[in-house]
């Protein structure tokens, strides 16, 4: 990593995204016509160290594209992605390895990002092997430490990841993301596949980890009430553009854009239906 990559001054955000643009070209089924889709169009936001920004939008709004560009799983067509003092937007893939330790990503379905033949220990150890961190003994010690920290017994380290529940696999995904001691975690719909009880437990775990390690989160979601429990700031994205942005309490209590209002309305309907299903009034 460059000498300034992980250094954040008192007034400098940990992550600053400026004018991010990403376009995809696809062929339609009719006459194989080429169709241009602007998935991110001039996206701007920043996150201070140790805080959480939630990028919220409906399906197809472009939020996951932004997340993948920030993690440099995708190369943006234009714009800047500043991590500390380094713009990583234009860095070639072969030169990105040192920055992979700085930014880690957690996906919605943990099992799709895990080798099903690996044990829990191998899943967590893999990033350390890629980055050539520590001896075998040191890596094993780190694996057990991380499993304990995310609430999975180290005694199950040799079990296949397929033997764990969805919530446990998401805890293992978090442990793997923490293995390289990153500053920024990107969580792309990481809680949407969990039941409400497990979701609440993972939210509490994320808050505890953030407090313990001064982590910075970019939290991708479509659920405004959920991110209200995690985020300091919310940015609402629609058709690839940020349409509303501000402190969480402000956006939740007084949404001004139609997309924000629609997300709040859909969440309210879901909560009422879920309460009725459980036989809970109001």
Please check the confidence at residue 2 and state whether its pLDDT lies above 60: no
- The C-alpha atoms of residue 26 and residue 277 are separated, in whole angstroms, by 42
Please check the confidence at residue 267 and state whether its pLDDT lies above 80: no
Average pLDDT over residues 243-247: 95
- Predicted local distance difference test score (pLDDT) of residue 280: 46
Q: What is the reported pTM?
A: 0.86
Pick from 117, 116, 134: which is nearest to 125 by CA? 134
Alpha-carbon distances of 163 from 88, 98, 157, 158, 160, rounded to whole Å? 37, 32, 11, 10, 6
User: 192-242, pLDDT tens digit by residue?
Assistant: 878 888 999 999 999 999 999 999 999 999 888 788 889 999 999 999 999
Question: What residue spans define the domains of the chain?
Answer: 103-181
- The C-alpha atoms of residue 90 and residue 67 are separated, in whole angstroms, by 16
Q: What is the C-alpha radius of gyration for the chain, rounded to an integer number of angstroms?
A: 19
- Predicted local distance difference test score (pLDDT) of residue 31: 65
Q: How confident is the model at residue 172 (pLDDT cuts 50, 70, 90)?
A: very high
Q: Secondary structure of 110-169 in the HEC alphabet?
A: HHHHCCCCCEHHHHHHHHHHHCCCCCHHHHHHHHHHHHHHCCCCHHHCCCEHHHCCHHHH
């Amino acid at each position: 990593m460059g000498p300034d990559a992980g250094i954040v001054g008192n007034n400098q955000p940990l992550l600053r995204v400026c004018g991010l643009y990403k376009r995809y070209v696809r062929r339609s089924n009719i006459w194989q016509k080429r169709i241009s889709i602007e998935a991110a169009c001039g996206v701007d936001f920043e996150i201070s160290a140790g805080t959480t920004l939630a990028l919220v939008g409906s399906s197809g709004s472009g939020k996951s594209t932004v997340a993948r560009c920030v993690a440099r799983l995708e190369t943006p067509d234009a714009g800047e992605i500043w991590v500390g003092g380094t713009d990583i937007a234009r860095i070639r893939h072969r030169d990105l390895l040192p920055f992979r330790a700085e930014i880690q990503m957690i996906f919605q379905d943990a099992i799709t990002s895990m080798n099903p033949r690996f044990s829990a220990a191998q899943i967590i150890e893999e990033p350390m092997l890629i980055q050539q961190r520590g001896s075998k003994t040191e890596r094993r010690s780190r694996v057990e430490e991380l499993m304990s920290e995310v609430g999975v017994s180290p005694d199950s380290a040799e079990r296949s990841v397929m033997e764990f529940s969805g919530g446990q696999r998401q805890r293992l995904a978090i442990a793997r993301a923490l293995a390289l001691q990153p500053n920024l975690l990107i969580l792309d719909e990481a809680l949407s596949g969990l039941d409400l009880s497990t979701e609440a437990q993972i939210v509490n775990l994320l808050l505890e980890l953030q407090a313990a390690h001064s982590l910075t989160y970019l939290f991708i979601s479509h659920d405004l009430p959920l991110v209200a429990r995690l985020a300091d700031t919310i940015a609402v994205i629609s058709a690839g553009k940020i349409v509303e942005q501000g402190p969480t309490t402000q956006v939740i209590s007084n949404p001004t854009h139609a997309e924000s209002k629609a997300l709040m309305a859909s969440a309210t309907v879901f909560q009422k239906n879920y309460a009725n299903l459980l036989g809970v009034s109001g």
